[in-house]
Amino acid sequence: MTKLSVNINKIATIRNARGGNNPDVVQVALDAEKFGAQGITVHPRPDERHIRYDDVMKLKDVVTTEFNIEGYPDKRFMEIIRLARPAQATLVPDPPHVLTSNTGWDTIAHQEELKDIIAELHEYGTRTSIFINPDKKYFEPAKLTGTDRVELYTEPYASNFHKNKQEAVKPYVEVAKMASSLGLGLNAGHDLDLDNLRFLKENIPFLDEVSIGHALICDALYYGLENTIQLYRRQLEMDEG
């Protein structure tokens, strides 16, 4: 089964636009779970432009599905993981003011650093995943960091999907097989949507989890959050009857 983790960053973006608590990020997380989300993902950024660190502390007490916290592993991130003890921490190599995540780790250059960070996260009982480009050279070094999983950075897949979906998915299938043979769990995310998700799942049926935010929240404006979550779940459940 491929789990759907709903990224609620964009709910916090709307909330922050007016300085109050509408929409309520915690309530949306609870409702998303009720509507079928199998996990909740947040990506607190250093400028707290959407998810704030205190949102994470509130969410940790109420999320009953899989809580996944993404981010660059600076001191503050490590401290929030120590305090929140989420099911999963996804390490992303983002510089502080980047618009959105735009690449995976160079697991060759950062192998030793990642190894130490991952060892510390394991002490907190948190599963680790590292955000990674679909390039074979990064997978064996990723395994050597001790990470439990990798998350395939799917923006290039999404942006090439409408030009040539077979070509777009090809590098992902190759690295997914490699990850699997190395014993790495496999997540995927970034710019996945109702057009491209099913094809990714068809080609990599053994994906453990996808985390989806931007497109899913945009779709919810038209279809409602409950219907939207169910639509995304259906893209992933096609092989399960």
Ligand X SMILES: CC(=O)[C@@H](O)[C@H](O)COP(=O)(O)O
Ligand Y SMILES: NCC(=O)COP(=O)(O)O
Which residues are near ligand Y by CB under 6 A? 7, 41, 70, 151, 189-192, 211-215
Which residue of the chain is nearest ligand Y when measured via CB? 189
Binds ligand X (CB under 6 A): choice among 132, 190, 197, 210: 190
Binds ligand X (CB under 6 A): choice among 55, 128, 189, 200: 189
Rounded to 10°, the helix 75-84/111-123 angle is 30
Q: What is the C-alpha separation between 150 and 142, in angstroms, rounded?
A: 8
Which residue of the chain is nearest ligand X when measured via CB? 100
At CA 34, angle to CA 33 and CA 37, rounded to 5?
35
Structural tokens at position 229: 């979550």
Phi first, then psi: give them for residue 131, nearest 5 degrees: -70, 130
For the CB of residue 240, give the shortest distance to ligand X in the complex, in Å: 26
Q: Which does 212 bind (CB under 5 to 8 A by kind): ligand X, ligand Y, none?
A: ligand Y
The answer to whether 191 is a known ligand-binding residue is yes
- The partner residues of 188 in beta bridges, in order of sequence, read 152, 210
**How deeply is 181 buried, as exposed, middle or buried, from its count of CB atoms within 10 A (0-12, 13-18, 19+)?**
exposed
Q: What is the C-alpha separation between 79 and 73, in angstroms, rounded?
A: 9
Site for ligand X in 40-99 (CB under 6 A): 43, 45, 70, 92
The answer to whether 45 is a known ligand-binding residue is yes
> Looking at beta carbons only, is 21 or 100 nearer to ligand X?
100
Site for ligand X in 143-182 (CB under 6 A): none
Q: What is the C-alpha separation between 9 and 45, in angstroms, rounded?
A: 10
Annotated binding site for 3-amino-2-oxopropyl phosphate: 7, 18, 191, 213-214
Residues making up the binding site for 1-deoxy-D-xylulose 5-phosphate: 45, 50, 100
Residues that bind ligand X (CB under 6 A): 7, 9, 43, 45, 70, 92, 100-101, 131, 189-190, 213
